[in-house]
Amino acid sequence: MTQAGEAWAPTDGDEQQPTGSPSARWSWGTDRRGRSTWRRGWVLAVLAVLIALLLAFHAQLPNSVGNLGSLLETFLPWLGLLVVPVLLGFALWRRSATALLALLLPAAVWVNLFGGLLSDKSTGHGDFTVLTHNVEAGNTDPAGTVKLVTGSGAQIVALEELTGAALTTYESGLAPAYPYHVVEGTVGLWSKYPIGDTRVVDIRIGWTRAFRTEVTTPKGPVAVYVAHMPSVRVKFDAGFTADQRDVSAQALGDAIQAEELKKVLLLGDLNGTMNDRSLAPVTSQMRSAQGTAGSGFGFSWPSAFPMARIDQIMSRGLTPTDSWVLAADGSDHRAIAADYRY
């Protein structure tokens, strides 16, 4: 028997319950306001469509205000990995068929953009392995980093943020495994193969953080560029401050475009992902190892809980056969590696 003023709500069984009861509120039928599962959850549905639009048209988001476009593109995979499950939870809580249907749109766009990264694309061992690692100036365990690098199996190793006494540790610790090395400014390259024709690349920051050298592998010569792009910051008063990084990206892109050798590698911390349009001067002419070989997102920063791949291994004229991320060490980045076929 119902109280005066209560209405009836249909249920899946033969019995009916008042719409004001807790069980009716959580049912897929009409809620206590008389709204069906298709009439509630419209706010969630609109949010789902907005997320889908941001994923699909991220390149159209302007950088003129706080470099918002680049900020979004840096963490673009997380827009689906985090936001969509949260909206899904709310849609189920609201018992909204409309919201659930709308969520299929961002899910489909995300799978189209990033689903290919989830499958294993490795094709076996290549002719040589390369590694790059921002070892961090404040690395708490340089000796541990040396052990990580020497145990990686890489024949060509690029290190960034080489400063102070730690540089001596790296040079002495890596020398037995890598007889050839060159350091320019705060970036360096160690190799099991001969190195020559090294020259600094001016990336317009006032000191040396990039160079080009030639490594003679058993299969032939490879031009290797090692670079550490200027850092980016997220500030409340200025947004995503990446202007200096973008200037450096253009300078590095120009140097790579002028490279005469057919086989080219770029190793380093670019402080940006392959999705970041501001790195287009580089990414438009280079192939990412992570995107074409191996599996997973390959996030490298921050080390404790990687959320973005801002360290990159890219090539031109070489075929990547595998790529992976190494374990954490004393740096705030994780080292990344890739196999290449000449």
pLDDT per residue as tens digits for the range 207-220:
999 999 999 999 99
Same domain, yes or no, for 88 and 128? no
Which residue, 117, 145, 177, sits at the end of a domain? Answer: 117
Give the per-residue pLDDT at 17.
46
Same domain, yes or no, for 61 and 163? no
Which residue, 117, 140, 163, sits at the end of a domain? Answer: 117
For the segment 48-57, the average pLDDT, to the nearest whole number, is 96
Q: Please indicate, yes or no, if residue 30 is contained in any of the structural domains.
A: no
Same domain, yes or no, for 183 and 53? no
The overall average pLDDT reported for the chain is: 89
Q: Is 341 a residue whose pLDDT tops 70?
A: yes
Give the per-residue pLDDT at 38.
87
What is the number of other CB atoms lying within 10 angstroms of the CB of residue 195? Answer: 19
**Burial of 137 per CB tally in 10 Å (0-12, 13-18, 19+):** middle
Q: Chain-centre distance of CA 21, in angstroms? A: 48
Same domain, yes or no, for 91 and 226? no
Nearest to 150 by CA among 186, 181, 195, 125: 181
For the segment 132-144, the average pLDDT, to the nearest whole number, is 96
| High-pLDDT (> 90) share of the chain, % | 73
What is the number of other CB atoms lying within 10 angstroms of the CB of residue 262? Answer: 12
Which residue, 97, 117, 137, sits at the end of a domain? Answer: 117
Question: Minimum mean pLDDT among 161-170, 182-191, 240-249: which range?
Answer: 240-249
Q: Chain-centre distance of CA 213, in angstroms? A: 26
* CB-based contacts of 114, cutoff 8 Å, min separation 6: 77, 80, 297
- 221-238 pLDDT, tens per residue? 999 999 999 987 655 554
Q: Is 10 a residue whose pLDDT tops 50?
A: no
Give the per-residue pLDDT at 241.
56
Q: Please indicate, yes or no, if residue 174 is contained in any of the structural domains.
A: yes
The vertex-69 CA angle with 264 and 101, nearest 5°, equals 110
Same domain, yes or no, for 190 and 291? yes
Q: Please indicate, yes or no, if residue 260 is contained in any of the structural domains.
A: yes
Most confident by average pLDDT, 35-39, 60-64, 122-126 = 122-126
Same domain, yes or no, for 86 and 206? no
Same domain, yes or no, for 158 and 218? yes
32 band by pLDDT with thresholds 50, 70 and 90: confident
Q: Is 334 a residue whose pLDDT tops 50?
A: yes
What are the angstrom distances between the C-alpha of 21 and each of 3, 9, 95? 11, 9, 15
Same domain, yes or no, for 109 and 126? no
Q: Please indicate, yes or no, if residue 181 is contained in any of the structural domains.
A: yes
Give the per-residue pLDDT at 66.
67
Same domain, yes or no, for 149 and 298? yes
67 band by pLDDT with thresholds 50, 70 and 90: confident
Same domain, yes or no, for 156 and 80? no
Domain carrying residue 44: 37-117
- 278-300 pLDDT, tens per residue? 899 999 999 999 888 988 999 99
Number of domains in the chain: 2
Q: What is the CATH number of the domain that holds 283?
A: 3.60.10.10
Q: When comparing pLDDT for 97 and 33, which is higher?
A: 97
Q: Where are the alpha helices (DSSP H) in 29-96?
A: 42-56, 68-74, 76-78, 84-94
